[in-house]
């Protein structure tokens, strides 16, 4: 049932503005409440995690 909602173009257009607004509000709240040092720690942890991942190979699909 939830998947039908996500794949329905009418539902997407009606809720996309609300979804975008909620994301903007969440981002603004995060920026206001989080110190720059904490943001740096989060970014560094994400960078190190990315470096530790094995390479991802994408193979073309032969038609």
The answer to whether position 11 is within a domain reads yes
25-34 pLDDT, tens per residue?
Answer: 999 999 999 9
Does 2 score more than 80 pLDDT? no
The answer to whether position 61 is within a domain reads no
Region of 57 on the Ramachandran plot (φ > 0 left; ψ -120 to 50 alpha; else beta): beta
Q: How far is CA 14 from CA 23, 37, 49, in A?
A: 16, 38, 36
Does 37 score more than 80 pLDDT? yes
The answer to whether position 30 is within a domain reads yes
The residue that leads in pLDDT, 56 or 8, is 56
* Cα–Cα distance for residue pair 49/54, rounded to 1 Å: 10
pLDDT of residue 60: 86
The residue that leads in pLDDT, 59 or 23, is 23
Structural domain of 35: 2-52
pLDDT of residue 58: 87
């Amino acid at each position: 049932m939830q998947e039908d909602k996500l794949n329905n173009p009418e539902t997407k257009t009606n809720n996309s503005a609300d979804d975008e607004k909620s994301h903007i509000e969440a981002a603004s709240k995060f920026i206001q409440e989080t110190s720059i040092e904490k943001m740096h720690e989060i970014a560094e942890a994400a960078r190190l995690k990315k470096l530790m991942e094995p390479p991802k190979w994408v193979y073309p699909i032969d038609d």
